[in-house]
């Protein structure tokens, strides 16, 4: 019996936990064509014994970006390609997709071995094989080494964190879907504990695990997005908080979000943590009312993607749309097209939760890109445009760019500031006991948790005090830092 076969046998018990209770929402879709993947038979050194598959969309440019996509347990490269919706945006924005695939010879339920020291270290096992796939993609397809990204679900999400920590110089950004922090587990028993009830460490301790994975590396560190269903009982939502703590600390940031908003059709709660230059270094997206899986939103709309009917793909929000945007692959960087900047941008109306914008049309424009606080939020056909889901009494900066028929953006307009109506968010400072009694926090396991965000406030006692900010109504976040509350 080989070493990998012996390791597979040890995993049979705990791997079942990754699939028990997985959400499967919606009816089976109509028959659809499989995403055409190319198998790369020999991609070089492969100590992790993985398979490599590539999706190459039509119109791939000479130096495309590449996204590495890591499937979840019981899945395959083909299943992940067919259901996650990533190929929709590879077609739209012309980037290469690489799908690593593990097998039952490696792991009884075809999970990436994020918890094995022989697979989750730089230069070893599966981590080294995935790194080699990136090198092969550069050699075969001319991919841009400055635009390499990684994402994955569950065990693939945990392996995403491995790749970001072990190879920070390779990956510009990553998105962890229903995963766990790097360094949480090096054993089967540890993996169980990380999944549920979770492991609580200080941000500094989590950050040290990342820095130890690549000794001597001084940055820049990858940007990280975290996606998690708030009803996940397989990999508990507290892992999203621990991932946030890990990567904000790596970036030298605090754990109080600089911006919060609701996005998508389901009101996914977005928390963003900004670097000194105003870019989003870390983002947490908490998807309401779903369990363990990749959030998808089947359909043909501009923000829709994916398919349900297969385990671990849950009808909610098209996470791949927002992840593509977080990576900057949707053209949300500075425009390179020839169209001039729109003139006359102004705010023509506002409510407690929305701002309406208008601007002068640009000849030859097929659509427009609207930016809020530096991030592209929509591509309407023309003015007016109403930005919704904002907080009362909040102020934002907007700009607009014209897009030609190919989607290339021209110059952005000058920015304007606009505010919603209503009172700004409310804040309360009190001990944890009083916060719970007032309904602003809940309790569990002897700790208090901010209602809505589920941020851990520490022990449920009168000796621990926090400031909680409410925005929107009923959703509270810890706001202890200077300037965190208006």
Q: Count of alpha carbons within 13 Å of 359, Cβ hemisphere only?
A: 29
Q: With 60 as the cut, is the pLDDT of residue 116 above it?
A: yes
Q: With 70 as the cut, is the pLDDT of residue 350 above it?
A: yes
- Number of H-type helices and E-type strands within the chain: 10, 26
Q: Helix, strand, or coil here: 447?
A: strand
Q: What is the per-residue pLDDT for 160?
A: 98
CB of 229 within 8 A of CB of 180? no
CA-nearest of 367, 405, 363, 364 to 383 is: 367
Q: Helix, strand, or coil here: 180?
A: coil
In angstroms, the Cα distances linking 92 to 57, 85, 88, 89, 337 are: 9, 11, 6, 5, 17
Cβ-based burial of 285 (10 A; exposed 0-12, middle 13-18, buried ≥19): buried
Beta bridge mates, 441: 450
The tens digit of pLDDT for each residue in 175-187 reads 999 999 999 999 9
Residue with tokens 């991030």: 375
User: Percentage of the chain with pLDDT > 70?
Assistant: 91
The tens digit of pLDDT for each residue in 359-395 reads 999 999 999 989 887 677 889 999 999 999 887 888 8
Q: With 80 as the cut, is the pLDDT of residue 24 above it?
A: no
User: Percentage of the chain with pLDDT > 90?
Assistant: 69
Which residue in the list 154, 320, 394, 471 is annotated as catalytic?
Answer: 154
- The DSSP letter of residue 112 is -
CA 4/CA 485 separation, integer angstroms: 53
CB of 292 within 8 A of CB of 27? no
Q: What is the mean pLDDT of residues 403-410?
A: 83
The tens digit of pLDDT for each residue in 274-299 reads 988 778 999 999 999 999 999 999 99
Q: Helix, strand, or coil here: 45?
A: coil
Q: What is the per-residue pLDDT for 95?
A: 96
Beta bridge mates, 356: 349, 386
Query: What sign does the dihedral 195-201-202-204 (CA atoms) show?
Result: negative
CB of 81 within 8 A of CB of 164? no
Q: With 60 as the cut, is the pLDDT of residue 23 above it?
A: no
Q: Considering only 28-37, 370-379, 407-416, which range has the smallest mean pLDDT?
A: 28-37
CA 282/CA 173 separation, integer angstroms: 10
CA 347/CA 385 separation, integer angstroms: 10
Q: What is the mean pLDDT of residues 196-207?
A: 97
The tens digit of pLDDT for each residue in 156-200 reads 999 999 999 999 999 999 999 999 999 999 998 999 899 999 999
- CATH 2.60.40.10 is right for the domain spanning 346-419: yes
Q: What is the per-residue pLDDT for 481?
A: 72
CA 435/CA 194 separation, integer angstroms: 28
CATH number corresponding to 3-326: 3.40.50.1820
Q: What is the mean pLDDT of residues 409-419?
A: 84
Domain locations along the chain: 3-326, 346-419, 426-478
CB of 374 within 8 A of CB of 385? no
Q: What is the mean pLDDT of residues 437-454?
A: 92
In angstroms, the Cα distances linking 33 to 97, 301, 307, 355 are: 17, 19, 12, 41
Q: Is 419 a catalytic residue?
A: no
Q: Considering only 71-80, 154-163, 403-412, which range has the smallest mean pLDDT?
A: 403-412
């Amino acid at each position: 019996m080989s070493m990998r076969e012996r390791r597979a046998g040890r995993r049979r018990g705990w791997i079942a936990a990754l699939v028990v209770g997985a959400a499967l929402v919606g009816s089976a879709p109509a028959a659809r064509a499989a995403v055409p993947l190319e198998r790369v038979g020999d991609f070089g050194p492969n100590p992790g014994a993985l398979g490599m598959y590539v999706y190459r969309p039509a119109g791939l440019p000479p130096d495309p970006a590449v996204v590495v996509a890591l499937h979840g347990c019981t899945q395959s490269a083909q299943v992940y390609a067919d259901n996650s919706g990533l190929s929709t945006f590879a077609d739209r924005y012309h980037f290469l997709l690489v799908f690593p695939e593990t097998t039952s010879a490696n792991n009884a339920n075809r999970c990436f071995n994020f918890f094995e020291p022989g697979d989750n270290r730089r230069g070893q096992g599966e981590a080294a094989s995935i790194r080699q796939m990136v090198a092969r993609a550069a050699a075969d397809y001319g991919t841009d080494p400055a635009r390499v990204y990684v994402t994955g679900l569950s065990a693939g999400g945990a392996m995403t964190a491995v790749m970001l920590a072990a190879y920070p110089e390779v990956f510009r950004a990553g998105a962890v879907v229903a995963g766990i922090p790097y360094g949480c587990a090096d054993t089967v028993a540890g993996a169980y504990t990380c999944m549920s009830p979770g492991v609580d460490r200080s941000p500094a301790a989590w950050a040290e695990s990342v820095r130890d994975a690549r000794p001597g590396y001084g940055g820049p560190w990858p940007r990280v997005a975290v996606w998690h269903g708030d009803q996940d009982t397989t990999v508990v939502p507290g892992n999203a908080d621990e991932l946030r703590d890990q990567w904000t600390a790596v970036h030298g940031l605090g754990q109080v979000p600089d911006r919060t908003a609701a996005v998508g059709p389901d009101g996914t709660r977005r928390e963003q943590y900004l670097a000194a230059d105003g870019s989003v270094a870390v983002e947490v997206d908490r998807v309401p009312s779903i369990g363990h899986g990749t959030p998808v939103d089947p359909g043909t709309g501009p923000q829709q993607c994916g398919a349900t009917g297969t385990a671990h793909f849950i009808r909610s929000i098209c996470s791949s749309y927002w992840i593509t945007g977080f990576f900057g692959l949707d053209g949300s960087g500075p425009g390179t097209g020839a169209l001039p900047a729109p003139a006359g941008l102004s705010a023509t109306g506002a409510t407690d939760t929305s701002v309406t914008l208008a601007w002068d049309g640009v000849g030859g424009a097929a659509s427009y890109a609207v930016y809020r606080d530096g991030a592209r939020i929509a591509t309407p056909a023309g003015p007016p445009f109403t930005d919704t889901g904002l907080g009362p009494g909040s102020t934002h900066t907007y700009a607009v760019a014209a897009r030609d028929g190919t989607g290339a953006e021209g110059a952005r307009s000058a920015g304007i500031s606009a505010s919603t109506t209503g009172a700004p968010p409310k804040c309360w400072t009190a001990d944890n006991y009083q916060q719970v009694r007032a309904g602003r926090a809940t309790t569990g396991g002897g700790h208090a948790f901010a209602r809505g965000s589920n941020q851990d406030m520490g022990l449920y006692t009168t000796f621990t005090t926090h400031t909680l900010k409410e925005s929107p109504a009923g959703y509270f976040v810890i706001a202890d830092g200077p300037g965190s509350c208006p």
